[in-house]
């Protein structure tokens, strides 16, 4: 979403720049004369445009990914090559993603607020492309993207960045996902069932295009 918005905003800036250039060219080609009031009005507006452009120029660098965000994204890419996550750990991560955090009647107001935000994050992860959901689960333990450990800006950056990538899964990934679906609590989770169906369909489409980075074999990882 963020990347799409950036492209949209960039296109807007290009359009605005061309419009301003066209206005300037029109002034140069015209032999009309402005009154003193018109001249001052145009100059005031031009000054406002310069101020707005200068502010944009100064703020753009602040939207670059931080060093920590770049490291986290690199960690995700490295997980495609060699990820030691065990099937049991992967299952726990997927349970959180699809079932959300466990709630208790003894939760404090602070705990309730934290779990509510984490629930929203789980929903965001679930809405990513199926292969990316699995990629996320393999790349990051739940403790890493807890609201107390990862800022909203970093979370949004990683979700957006990873969602724009094409990744493929191995045969053992399919086997693991099916196995998880036969055990509680995922066996009664309709969203997880829908996810598996979408996962298989997306995998078939990717295999036909023969592109995309392959997700490493989970089941061949060490259980130690």
Q: Tens digits of per-residue pLDDT, 104-126?
A: 889 899 999 999 999 999 999 99
Q: What secondary structure does DSSP assign to 174-191, as a single string?
A: HHHHHHHHTSTTGGG-HH
Say if 220 falls within a structural domain: no
106 shares its domain with 172:
yes
Beta strands in the chain (DSSP E): 167-168, 213-214
Structural domain total, the chain: 2
Contacts 24+ apart (CB under 8 A), 51-59: 56/13
Say if 88 falls within a structural domain: yes
Q: Tens digits of per-residue pLDDT, 146-160?
A: 999 999 999 999 999
C-alpha distance across the termini of the chain, in Å: 38
Say if 176 falls within a structural domain: yes
Rounded to an integer, the average pLDDT of 79-98 is 90
41 shares its domain with 83:
no
- The whole-chain average pLDDT of the chain stands at 85
Residue where a domain stops, chosen among 42, 63, 84: 63
166 shares its domain with 93:
yes
| Nearest of 169, 185, 72, 93 to residue 138 by alpha carbon | 93
Reported pTM: 0.70
Residue 80 pLDDT greater than 80, yes or no: yes
- Whole-angstrom distance, CA of residue 73 vs CA of residue 159: 10
Say if 116 falls within a structural domain: yes
Say if 139 falls within a structural domain: yes
- Structure-token match 């605005």, residue found: 16
90 shares its domain with 175:
yes
Tell whether omega for the bond before 20 is within 30 degrees of 0, i.e. cis: no
């Amino acid at each position: 979403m963020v990347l799409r918005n950036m492209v949209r905003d960039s296109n807007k800036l290009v359009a605005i720049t061309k419009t301003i250039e066209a206005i300037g060219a029109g002034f140069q080609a015209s032999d009309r004369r402005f009154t003193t009031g018109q001249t001052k009005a145009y100059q005031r507006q031009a000054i406002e445009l310069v101020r707005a452009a200068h502010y944009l120029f100064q703020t753009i660098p602040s939207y670059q990914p931080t060093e920590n965000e770049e490291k986290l994204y690199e960690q995700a890419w490295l997980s495609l090559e060699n990820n030691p996550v065990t099937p049991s750990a992967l299952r726990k991560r997927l349970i959180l993603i699809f079932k959300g955090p466990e709630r208790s009647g003894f939760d404090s107001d602070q705990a309730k607020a934290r779990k509510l935000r984490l629930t929203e994050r789980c929903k965001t992860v679930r809405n990513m492309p199926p292969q990316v959901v699995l990629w996320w689960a393999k790349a990051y333990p739940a403790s890493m993207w807890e609201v107390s450990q990862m800022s909203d800006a970093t979370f949004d950056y990683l979700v957006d960045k990873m969602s724009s990538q094409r990744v493929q899964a191995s045969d053992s990934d399919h086997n693991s996902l099916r196995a998880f679906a036969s055990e509680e609590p995922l066996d009664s989770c309709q969203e997880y069932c829908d996810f598996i169906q979408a996962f298989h369909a997306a995998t078939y489409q990717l295999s036909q295009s023969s592109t995309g980075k392959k997700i490493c074999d989970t089941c061949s990882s060490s259980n130690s």
